[in-house]
Amino acid sequence: MKRRYSSEDIVGLLVKVKGVVQGVGFRPFVYRLARRYDLRGYVRNLGGGDVEIYVEGVKPSIYGFLDSFAREKPPIAIIDHIETSEVEPRGEEVFRIERSGEDRVDGGSIIPPDIAICSSCLRELRTSSDRRYRYFFITCTDCGPRFTVIEKLPYDRCNTSMKIFEMCDECRIEYTDPLDRRFHAQTIACPRCGPKVYLTDGHGFKVECVDPILEAGRLIDEGFIVAVKGYGGFHIATATTIDEPVRRLRGRKGRKGKPFAVMARDIEAVESFAEITDTERDILESYIRPIVLLRKSRDYYLSDLIAPNLHLVGVMLPYTGLHILLFEGTKEPALVMTSGNLSGQPIILDDREAISKLGRIADYILFHDRPIVQRCDDSVVKIVDRMPVIVRRSRGYTPTPIKLKYRTDLDILALGCEENVVACIVKDREAYLTQHIGDIDSVESLSFLKGSIEHFKNLLSINPKLVVCDLNPRFATTRLAFDLAEEMRIPLIQVQHHVAHVYSLLAETGLDEAVVVAADGFGYGLDGAAWGGEVIYASRDRWMRIGHLEEHPMVGGDLATRYPVRMVIGILRDDPRIEEWVKARSYMLPYGERELGIILSQLERGRYIPTTSCGRILDAVSTLLEVCFERTYEGEPAMKLESAAQGGEDVLRLDPVYANGSIATKPLIESIFDNLGRACRRDLAYSAHVYIARSFAYYAVGKASELGVKHIGFTGGVAYNDIIIREFRRIVEGEGVDFVRHRLAPPGDGGISLGQAYYALLRSKIADQPVASR
């Protein structure tokens, strides 16, 4: 028999929920939960990204309602904090979803990222009797675009790019039915009322056809290049089993050798050309659907022009209805699916710009008519020493925050460096990384960065009180930081590049101190030199450079990065054999022997930049072994060296050499030079990796012991190298020290802004910082 309650038994409760709770089906979830517990009241989105709930009923029901929150919340919702306060009952008669509040409150919540198509939508897409059968823009409360469609909070249709599509009667019934999967799904659409797809040639003239998506697939099979509009920008697609279109794509895009990512039809197709572990499978099939760098299988049959001279290929699975339908039109097991942009510019999102710019690259363009609010490139993940490491954190991650150990009263804005730029905003105890911006070497990229920062400021309702940037005065982000500091009249802090790398690792691990190796290609040092192989002690209140790789001449500055034989000449300049070796390989220098004479003259006069860069050492080895002697994309010589080392053995067995805080690398280069022709390339390449890993590891272990530090980490671009990290970890853990690594942010320059912001957060707790001067 149902118990009767008097009015004295009824209580009211006001609840505010913080986290990722808008755009994830949270209000429908609350509605159904309240109905289950016979509660009255309302739920509504707030302007700051939070959700407000008022319930009234008997206490046992309210307690049951609250207990069910964490256990039954929508799968992509994240509840960070729940505030409750008991209030007088208001005499509500039903539970309802109220219109969202527009007031901007100090929310601390954020919308979710774009989410790959869910199994329910996929089933409908393939069911001929379903009214959304083969509809490319099929979504629900559990999947679809979020970050790339929202203009402002709260997350309601009127605040998204879907506002221009008036719902049909059938969609509106689903949208207003609390028991429907599309109840308050802001991207709800169908073939009658939603976005439409169409095909044009490269000049923008419409191609008449029955099914534009199937036609695009057929054109790809015929060897054409097709640009495809997605959630957060355009891709450029072509076949993977035919060399010619890939060759044409490289020529038109000006992309000589940089690997292309591919999108595979399904997981079975992936297994036909790549090796895949359970971890990699889980990541590929997750709602993030990133590009995962997979080992090519022995019977790899895709074009060798996709990822030339590399043992890995970047693979992702379809994450939208359009992608799935595209594969129905092609026989290809996978498609090249690379970012739709011109070299040095951000991914294109505007239709007119796509015709004017991508029309130079693509033969055809597959459009849809939903505007893209925010660009968002595909994310990239690599398994390093059995653990997933984020190479590029963008679609599927952005704008989900990283939780910090310490909070701040200041809203902090950090701008990163010059390559792989990602900005970071810290609010309270959360770090919000923007989507991948890319290299800031064009007006368009800088504009993209500025626009992304403004978008996040609006979403988070913040006004930065502190701006942080790199030390390098030549970086566009450094100049922008000074301009912003002056414009907003706020302090500015500059953080050394490798120190920022280290504090990025501390930020995501929550450690208060560690000895960390920061190894990469280049960072502006405190002494003006080019740092890049640093051992740093860092804690909450201080940091020390406690070691570094041996300094070598970097003749010609950036030229030594593009043509690493310059590094070889500088390191081995005292060896009488090196001049003849280079003369025999004069093709390694653009101007041959004449350029060699200039390099030797500059060395003799001491006209060069000293560098401790680990990246330049790997480049030098790559050149000596004739694996790669010209860098046409970031990290190319080192990446190809890692590929060349696969299956190798340590035949050199060199012992690390240390002197006055310097880790010797000249003996490595000398030994490889001496063993050219005696040992095979694979073993020499592997030996170089092992020597670098051991030299860093034993040095870091010794310093950690001296300082009484229990944790050793590794950060920077070299942290993507599986051989080095595997050997480094083996030694560190073998010595009884805890090894820590990145898991939430990229160890490369895409995580720099997190470290800059966290460094500033910690310093703001210790002392007031002066405004930096130009």
Q: State in Å, rounded, how far the first CA of the chain is from the last one.
A: 78
7 has a pLDDT exceeding 80: no
DSSP 399: T
DSSP-assigned letters across all residues of 522-565: EEE-TTSSEEEEEEEEEESS-EEEEEEEPPEEETTTHHHHHSTH
Structural tokens at position 135: 């509809």
Q: Which residue has the higher pLDDT, 531 or 77?
A: 531
Q: Which residue has the higher pLDDT, 73 or 165?
A: 165
pLDDT-derived band at 103, boundaries 50, 70, 90 = low
- Predicted confidence (pLDDT) per residue in 250-299, tens digit: 999 999 999 999 999 999 999 999 999 999 999 999 999 999 999 999 99
774 has a pLDDT exceeding 50: no
State the pairing for strand pair 291-295/380-384: parallel
Q: Which of 93-102, 160-169, 216-225 has the lowest mean pLDDT?
A: 93-102
- What is the predicted pLDDT for the residue at 767? 36
Q: How far apart are CA 447 and CA 702, in angstroms?
A: 46
* pLDDT > 70 in the chain, percent: 97
Structural tokens at position 764: 């703001």
- Predicted confidence (pLDDT) per residue in 480-510, tens digit: 999 999 999 999 999 999 999 999 999 999 9
- What is the predicted pLDDT for the residue at 452? 97
Q: How far apart are CA 688 and CA 711, in angstroms?
A: 25
Per-residue three-class SS string for 662-698: EECCHHHHHHHHHCECCECHHHHHHHHHHHHHHHHHH
Q: Which helix (H) or strand (E) holds 432?
A: strand 424-433
pLDDT, mean over the chain: 94
- What is the predicted pLDDT for the residue at 772? 43
State the pairing for strand pair 334-339/364-368: unpaired
Q: How far apart are CA 636 and CA 621, in angstroms?
A: 12
Structural tokens at position 45: 């989105």
pLDDT-derived band at 344, boundaries 50, 70, 90 = confident
Radius of gyration of the chain (CA): 28
DSSP-assigned letters across all residues of 264-315: ESSHHHHHHHB---HHHHHHHHSTT--EEEEEBPTT--S-TTSSTT-SEEEE
- What is the predicted pLDDT for the residue at 770? 38
Helix (H, G, I), strand (E, B) or coil at 59: helix
- What is the predicted pLDDT for the residue at 246? 98
Q: Is the pTM here over 0.85, yes or no?
A: yes
Q: Which residue has the higher pLDDT, 104 or 85?
A: 85
Phi, psi of 745 (to 5 degrees): -130, 155
Structural tokens at position 735: 């010595």
Phi, psi of 598 (to 5 degrees): -65, -40
- What is the predicted pLDDT for the residue at 109? 64
51 has a pLDDT exceeding 80: yes
pLDDT-derived band at 441, boundaries 50, 70, 90 = confident
Q: How far apart are CA 396 and CA 230, in angstroms?
A: 14
- What is the predicted pLDDT for the residue at 76? 80
Mean pLDDT, to the nearest integer, of 362-370? 98
- What is the predicted pLDDT for the residue at 6? 52
Q: How far apart are CA 497 and CA 477, in angstroms?
A: 13
CA-based nearest residue to 416, from 746, 24, 768, 7:
746
- What is the predicted pLDDT for the residue at 1? 37
- Cis bond before residue 399 (omega within 30° of 0): yes
Contacts of 6 (CB under 8 A, 6+ apart): none
- Predicted confidence (pLDDT) per residue in 603-622, tens digit: 999 999 999 999 999 999 99
Structural tokens at position 217: 């697939």
- Predicted confidence (pLDDT) per residue in 134-183, tens digit: 999 999 999 999 999 999 988 899 999 999 999 999 999 999 998 899 98
Mean pLDDT, to the nearest integer, of 670-674? 98
Q: Characterize 159-179 residue by residue with b for buried, 16 or more Cβ atoms within 10 angstroms of its Cβ, and e for exposed.
A: bbbbeebebeeebeebbeeee
- What is the predicted pLDDT for the residue at 2? 44
Give yes or no for a contact between 80 and 19, defined as CB atoms under 8 angstroms apart: yes
Per-residue three-class SS string for 120-166: HHHHHHCCCCCCCCCCCCCCECCEECCCCCECCCCCCHHHEHHHHCC
pLDDT-derived band at 396, boundaries 50, 70, 90 = very high
- Predicted confidence (pLDDT) per residue in 718-773, tens digit: 999 999 999 999 999 999 999 999 999 999 999 999 999 999 999 986 433 433 44
- What is the predicted pLDDT for the residue at 8? 62
Give yes or no for a contact between 747 and 384, defined as CB atoms under 8 angstroms apart: no
- Predicted confidence (pLDDT) per residue in 532-551, tens digit: 999 999 999 999 999 999 99
Mean pLDDT, to the nearest integer, of 637-642? 98
- What is the predicted pLDDT for the residue at 102? 61
Contacts of 528 (CB under 8 A, 6+ apart): none
DSSP 586: G
Give yes or no for a contact between 702 and 537, defined as CB atoms under 8 angstroms apart: no
Give yes or no for a contact between 687 and 654, defined as CB atoms under 8 angstroms apart: yes
* pLDDT > 90 in the chain, percent: 88
Distances (CA, A) of 207 to 239, 367, 623: 20, 11, 49
Q: Please count the other Cβ atoms lying within 10 Å of the Cβ belonging to residue 579.
A: 16
- What is the predicted pLDDT for the residue at 3? 46
- Predicted confidence (pLDDT) per residue in 113-139, tens digit: 999 999 999 999 999 999 999 999 999
- What is the predicted pLDDT for the residue at 106? 54
Residue 139: Cβ-neighbour burial (10 angstroms; 0-12, 13-18, 19+): buried
